[in-house]
Amino acid sequence: GESVGLHLPTLSVQEGDNSIINCAYSNSASDYFIWYKQESGKGPQFIIDIRSNMDKRQGQRVTVLLNKTVKHLSLQIAATQPGDSAVYFCAENTPFPTDKLIFGTGTRLQVFP
């Protein structure tokens, strides 16, 4: 898939630096959150998830932080590489009235040398 939109928020970082991508979610009852990465010409790819009973979860070079007080989710990428250039978007699962995954619009990450 190509870009989600022409006017996505863009984060530009230098190769090797850490990146932080933020997401504000809408429903305080949401119990599960996912970060996806979408590279140009491809579909979204699962990166990492976190349940609402956790504040932090780490993967390989990625960390997701959840702040339920302010309904905020962030994705931290350590030592950002050119291959990390993509659109990143979060999704929240709202359990009521039915389980439903709601996606954000995304942030474009550009990595320059």
The window from 16-24, 59-67, 68-76, 97-105 that contacts another protein (CB under 8 A) reads 97-105
Q: C-beta of 9: minimal distance to another protein in Å?
A: 12
Sole binder of another protein in the list 25, 35, 88, 89 (CB under 8 A): 89
Contact set for another protein, span 33-62 (CB under 8 A) = 34, 41-46, 49
Q: Is 104 among the residues that bind another protein (CB under 8 A)?
A: yes
- Residue 85 vs 93, nearer CB to another protein: 93
Output phi, psi for 66, to 5 deg.
Answer: -120, 125
Distance, CA of 102 to CA of 94 (rounded, Å): 8
- HEC string for 51-67: ECCCCEEECCCEEEEEE
78 near 61, Cβ under 8 Å?
A: yes
Cβ partners under 8 Å of residue 67, min gap 6: 55, 73
Sole binder of another protein in the list 23, 73, 86, 91 (CB under 8 A): 91
Sole binder of another protein in the list 27, 32, 65, 110 (CB under 8 A): 32
Distance, CA of 21 to CA of 109 (rounded, Å): 8
Q: Which residues bind another protein (CB under 8 A)?
A: 1-7, 32, 34, 41-46, 49, 89, 91, 93, 99-106
